[in-house]
């Protein structure tokens, strides 16, 4: 499908760019500043998209389409220039235009700040979903926060991570449209007065609240082909004029300004935490702020066409991306009951029928809980509503399971104890008609483990929707050479239907195609080598095996296992126990949460190991270890197309899905991985000969944890290869000038503290790595396998995931629940 709708010509585009250079930027039309060219091109595209948003809205209005609202505290959208040009069908025209003027479009694209409004996979998923909803012509919109500072920039100083603020808005953001006219006002803090109404009924009043103003910033989201342009609405916090004026009138100018600053603080920055909880009041306020702004906006839009709430669940589906927006349950109830005077039962039906919840993690430390006392202070009315929901819910459970007090304790929205806590996952589960996991394995674990009581109550609410990625960004844009080859071979239908890639299978052993395919991989590796040499002054052999582990740094993702493998090979070579047969380049990237000490130590360890190995003359060019700083969407787009081997080696049962794994598969890397998350389904799709699976299975680990039978120390004594590596930590081999730096790793393992089962998986991991080395030497066979991986990656498109959400959740007829 070629984009045809209102495609603009090269000369129109040129005229528009010239216009914005002069009129928006006040620059001579001949300006050759890349920055100016980026801005004026972006403004030109925004003009087109603004018109398209209006057209799209008229279409939705005319057909009374059900709208989907995707609520997420994170949207890791990446740069928009390339993606927008591709989706509007204007990439080639724009590139030619710039080339004719002697300008490289890549340099213009590099001018754009990468909006880091997310931590990792969860935020990136939300971004892929926006692209897919617009491409599939679904009326789907994102609601998020307009953080002034995105995820920190990572710098490396003597091997240690240093965090620098990401002031991404310091320069102008040409994409966003500030909509002051649609601002909303949100109450917060205050207290409850227990009044009675005229008939003597209980009528609580929320009093003495303060007000925050939510100001929307809209970012257009163009679907491929340009027919549909939806938007992502990000709210920034400001102070309420009314509120300020009251203090002004009291004559306290400084306090008024202080208040204003305090309000603005709410959306100052993204919490730099990946799968671990923060527990900070400001984070709770952010979660409430987003939910309250979004629901006000959604209801306002609905009431333009409706007089009551009868059609609300038919006109709006609200998807909660993890528990972060789960206060939507309480806020929607509050709006319906307190502000629109619906009876509780009716409001509850509407709430459940509208909301749905996506779970993203089984890590105990990541399941959100907030102290009851904190909620009482910040949103007292919501706490009351949560108690009422809980009361009615537990009554029904007790009716079904008389006498089972333990069950009530387990499923309650409130965790009793010294500090009473609200369990946000339970709130989301009880208030939704659907809960989904993000891979088949993960959904099974939710059913059997974390949420087994809820599964027994409502099996019909549980669905699996395996994650996906958009091929528009992760192949068409990130890997233009491969995209071109595929289009030339099987047509461009894959761009909107990734299952078409199956047509590549017959080419997997055709010499000409194989040569072109491996030539492209080689060119991508060369390009990445140049980036490595430019940023780190390290020269890399593009013919070496690129073995890549890039993702957030976390113990469960087991960067340590990868480093132990590298140390093992290094010591074998220098001790003459191994003759290297394949040169290898090990590439890492990833940020550590600023307060996560072990993760930060991993970054230091990778650097120290690299320092020793990269300088050791005995190694020659057999191994190189590289850490590329400041992992981001833009960096991922450069690294992934150059990968030979994708490391997906999390402890089984911990990675809910992973999406990095899918990006690598789509770009012709082979995967080495555990049976975790979506790796399980990648094995099913690729076939057992085309992926390297090793290690413990999730049930085996769960069983050992339950029975407490794993002793890491025994593995030290049983396996010489483990001894060598742990002794290297003990003996400061990688910290000669920093004595004792990594001894904690040795001591923990010897103390049976290996909660992520590194030692038990280590020997199987070495074995599979030996197999990989042998297979890589047979380059024709390797290439064949990589082609088959690409051909069989169609399932992992976010188009498939969104179409699953659409059928299984958003447009499923919801019967009034039994509870």
Ligand X SMILES: *Cc1c(COP(=O)(O)O)cnc(C)c1O
Shortest Cβ distance from residue 381 to ligand X (Å)?
37
Q: Which of 600, 612, 623 is nearest to 547 (CA)?
A: 623
Q: How far is the CB of 233 from ligand X (least distance, A)?
A: 22
Annotated catalytic residue 663: yes
Q: Is residue 363 a contact partner of residue 273, using CB atoms and an 8 Å limit? A: no
Shortest spacing between CB 480 and ligand X, in angstroms: 18
Residue 658 interacts with ligand X (CB under 6 A): yes or no? yes
Does 629 interact with ligand X (rule: CB under 6 A)? no
Q: Report phi then psi at 596, rounded to 5.
A: -100, 95
Q: Locate 80 and state its tokens.
A: 């928009």
Q: How many residues comprise the chain?
A: 819
Tokens of 604: 């230091």
| Choices 135-143, 454-462, 531-539, 628-636; region in contact with ligand X by CB under 6 A | 628-636
Q: Does 660 bind ligand X (CB under 6 A)?
A: yes
311 part of the active site? no
Question: Which one of 220-228, 370-378, 447-455, 627-635 is the stretch in contact with ligand X (CB under 6 A)?
Answer: 627-635
Contact positions with ligand X (CB under 6 A) in 523-552: 551-552
User: Residue 464: phi, psi to the nearest 5?
Assistant: -105, 135
> Which of the stretches 120-128, 445-453, 687-695, 798-806 binds ligand X when contact is defined by CB under 6 A?
120-128
For position 735 contacting ligand X by CB under 6 A, the verdict is no
Q: Active site includes 358? A: no
Q: In 154-280, which ranges are continuous DSSP H helix?
A: 241-249, 253-265
Of 315 and 659, CB closest to ligand X: 659
For the CA atoms of 717, 718, 722, 728, the dihedral, rounded to the nearest 10 degrees, stands at 30
CB count in 10 Å sphere of residue 771: 13
The number of C-alpha atoms within 13 Å of 408 and in the hemisphere containing its C-beta is 16
Identify the residue among 161, 230, 351, 632 touching ligand X (CB under 6 A): 632
Residue closer to ligand X (CB basis): 120 or 629? 120
Annotate each residue in 552-591 with x if it binds ligand X (CB under 6 A) or - if it does not, as one string. Answer: x---------------------------------------
Given candidates 79, 124, 584, 607, which one binds ligand X under the rule CB under 6 A?
A: 124
> Of 670, 657, 749, which Cα lies nearest the Cα of 710?
749
Short-list 670, 619, 665, CA closest to 782: 670
585, 659, 671, 786: which is the annotated catalytic residue?
A: 659
Q: Which is nearer to ligand X, 121 or 437 (CB)?
A: 121
Considering only residues 280 to 299 of the shown chain, the ones binding ligand X according to CB under 6 A are none
Q: Which is catalytic among the residues 79, 124, 296, 552?
A: 552
Active site residue 551: yes
DSSP alpha helix (H) spans, 336-448: 344-354, 372-378, 380-400, 405-411, 424-430, 440-445
Our finding on whether 117 is near ligand X (CB under 6 A) is: no
Catalytic residue among 447, 551, 558, 624: 551
Residue 154 in contact with ligand X, rule: CB under 6 A: no
The question of whether 792 is a catalytic residue gets the answer no
Q: How far apart are the first and last CA of the chain?
A: 46
- DSSP class of residue 275 equals S
Alpha-carbon gap, residue 84 to 82, rounded angstroms: 5
* The one catalytic residue among 557, 785, 792, 800: 557
The neighbouring-strand residues paired with 715 are none
Span from 225-233, 629-637, 729-737, 751-759 in contact with ligand X (CB under 6 A): 629-637
- Least separation in angstroms between residue 107's CB and ligand X is 22
We find the least distance from the C-beta atom of residue 475 to ligand X, in angstroms, to be: 14
Residues 454 and 460: beta-carbon distance below 8 Å: no
Exposed, middle or buried: residue 534 (CB in 10 Å: 0-12, 13-18, 19+)? exposed
Does the protein bind ligand X through residue 120 (CB under 6 A)? yes
| Region for 708 from its dihedrals, namely left if φ exceeds 0, alpha if ψ lies in -120 to 50, beta otherwise | left
What x-and-dash track marks residues 766-805 binding ligand X by CB under 6 A? ----------------------------------------
Q: Distance (Å, rounded) from C-alpha 327 to C-alpha 336?
A: 14
Backbone angles phi, psi at 43, to 5 degrees: -60, -40
Q: Which of these segments, 43-51, 118-126, 191-199, 390-398, binds ligand X (CB under 6 A)?
A: 118-126
Is 360 catalytic? The answer is yes
d(CA 53, CA 31): 30
Return the number of the residue (244 or 637) whose C-beta is nearest ligand X: 637
- Pick from 640, 604, 639: nearest CA to 741: 604
Q: Is 641 in the site for ligand X (CB under 6 A)?
A: no
Q: How far is the CB of 440 from ligand X (least distance, A)?
A: 16
Q: What share of the chain is helix, strand, coil (3-state, %, to 5)?
A: 55, 15, 30
**With respect to ligand X, which residue has the nearer C-beta, 313 or 668?**
668
Cα 499 from Cα 799, distance rounded (Å): 10
| Active-site hit among 66, 227, 442, 663 | 663
Using CB under 6 A, pick the residue from 320, 528, 636, 651 that binds ligand X. Answer: 636
Q: How far apart are CA 28 and CA 338, in angstroms?
A: 57
Are 351 and 332 within 8 A, CB to CB? Answer: yes
Listed ranges 288-296, 338-346, 475-483, 658-666: which one lies at the site for ligand X (CB under 6 A)? 658-666
Interface residue with ligand X, options 41, 659, 797, 806 (CB under 6 A)? 659
Separation of alpha carbons 285 and 271, rounded Å: 12
| Residue 468 within binding range of ligand X, rule CB under 6 A | no
Residue 551 C-beta: closest distance to ligand X, Å: 4
Shortest approach of ligand X to residue 448 CB, angstroms? Answer: 23
- The catalytic site residues sit at 360, 551-552, 557, 659, 663
The residue ranges that bind ligand X (CB under 6 A) are: 120-121, 124, 551-552, 631-633, 636, 658-660, 663
């Amino acid at each position: 499908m070629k984009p045809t709708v209102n495609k603009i010509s090269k000369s129109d585009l040129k005229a528009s760019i010239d216009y914005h250079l002069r009129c928006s930027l006040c620059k001579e039309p001949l300006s050759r500043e890349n920055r100016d060219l980026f801005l004026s091109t972006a403004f030109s595209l925004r003009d087109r998209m603004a018109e398209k948003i209006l057209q799209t809205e008229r279409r939705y209005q005319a057909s009374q389409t059900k709208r989907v609202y995707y609520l997420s505290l994170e949207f890791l959208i990446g740069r928009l220039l390339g993606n927008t040009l591709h989706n509007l069908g204007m990439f080639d025209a724009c590139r030619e235009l710039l080339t004719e003027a002697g300008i490289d479009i890549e340099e213009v694209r590099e001018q754009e700040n990468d909006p880091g409004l997310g931590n990792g996979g969860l935020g990136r998923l939300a971004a892929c979903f926006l692209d897919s909803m617009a491409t599939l012509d679904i009326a789907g919109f994102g609601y998020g926060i307009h953080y002034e500072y995105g995820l920190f920039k990572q710098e490396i100083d003597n091997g240690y991570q240093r965090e620098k603020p990401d002031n991404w808005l310091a320069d102008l953001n040409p994409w966003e449209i500030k909509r002051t006219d649609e601002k909303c006002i949100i109450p917060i803090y205050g207290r409850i007065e227990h009044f009675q109404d005229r008939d003597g009924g209980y009528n609580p009043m929320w009093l003495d609240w303060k007000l925050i103003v939510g100001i929307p910033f809209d970012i257009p989201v163009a679907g491929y082909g340009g027919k549909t342009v939806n938007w992502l609405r990000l709210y920034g916090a400001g102070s309420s004029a009314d509120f300020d004026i009251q203090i002004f009138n009291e004559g306290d100018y400084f306090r008024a300004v202080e208040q204003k600053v305090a309000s603005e603080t709410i959306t100052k920055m993204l919490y730099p935490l990946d799968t671990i909880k923060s527990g900070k009041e400001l984070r709770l306020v952010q979660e409430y702020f987003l939910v309250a702004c979004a629901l006000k906006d959604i209801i306002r839009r609905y009431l333009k066409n409706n007089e009551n709430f009868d059609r609300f669940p038919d006109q709006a589906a609200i998807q909660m991306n993890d528990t972060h927006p789960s206060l939507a349950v309480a806020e929607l109830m509050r709006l319906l009951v307190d502000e629109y005077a619906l009876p509780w039962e009716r409001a509850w039906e509407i709430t459940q029928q509208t909301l749905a919840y996506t779970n993203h993690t089984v890590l105990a430390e990541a399941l959100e809980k907030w102290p009851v006392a904190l909620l009482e202070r910040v949103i007292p009315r919501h706490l009351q509503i949560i108690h009422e929901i809980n009361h009615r819910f537990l009554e029904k459970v007790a009716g079904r399971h008389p006498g089972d007090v333990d069950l009530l304790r387990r499923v309650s929205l409130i965790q009793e104890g010294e500090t009473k806590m609200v369990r946000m996952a339970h709130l989301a589960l009880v208030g939704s008609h659907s809960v989904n996991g993000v891979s088949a394995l993960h959904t099974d674990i939710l059913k059997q483990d974390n949420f087994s009581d809820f599964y027994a109550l409502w099996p019909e609410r549980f669905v699996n929707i395996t994650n996906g990625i958009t091929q528009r960004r992760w192949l068409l844009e990130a890997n233009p050479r491969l995209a071109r080859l595929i289009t030339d071979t099987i047509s461009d239908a894959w761009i909107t239907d990734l299952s078409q890639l199956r047509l590549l299978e017959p080419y997997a052993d055709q010499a000409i195609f194989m040569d072109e395919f491996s030539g492209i991989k080689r060119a991508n590796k060369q390009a990445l080598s140049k980036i490595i040499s430019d940023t780190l002054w390290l020269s890399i052999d593009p013919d070496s095996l690129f073995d890549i582990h890039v993702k957030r740094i976390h113990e469960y993702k087991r960067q340590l296992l990868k480093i132990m493998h590298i140390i093992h090979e290094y010591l074998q070579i220098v001790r003459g126990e191994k003759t290297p047969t394949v040169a290898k380049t090990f590439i890492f990237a990833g940020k550590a949460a600023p307060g996560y000490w072990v993760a930060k130590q991993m970054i230091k360890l990778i650097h120290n190991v690299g320092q020793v190995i990269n300088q050791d003359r005995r190694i020659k060019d057999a191994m190189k270890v590289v850490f590329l700083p400041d992992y981001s969407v833009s960096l991922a787009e450069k690294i992934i197309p150059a990968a030979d081997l994708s490391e997906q080696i999390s402890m089984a049962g911990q990675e809910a899905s992973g999406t990095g794994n899918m990006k690598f598969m789509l770009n012709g890397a082979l995967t080495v991985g555990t049976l975790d998350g979506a790796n399980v389904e990648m094995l099913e799709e690729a076939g057992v000969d085309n992926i390297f699976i090793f290690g413990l299975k999730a049930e085996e680990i769960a069983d050992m944890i339950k029975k407490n039978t794993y002793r890491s120390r025994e593995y030290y004594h049983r396996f010489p290869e483990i001894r060598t590596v742990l002794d290297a930590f003990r003996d400061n081999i990688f910290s000669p000038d920093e004595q004792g730096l990594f001894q904690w790793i040795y001591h923990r393992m010897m103390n049976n503290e290996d909660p992520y089962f590194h030692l038990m998986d280590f020997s199987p991991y070495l074995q599979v790595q030996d197999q990989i080395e042998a297979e890589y030497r047979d380059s024709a066979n390797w290439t064949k396998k990589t082609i088959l991986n690409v051909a069989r990656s169609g399932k992992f498109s976010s188009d498939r995931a969104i179409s699953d959400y659409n059928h299984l959740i958003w447009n499923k007829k919801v019967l009034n629940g039994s509870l």
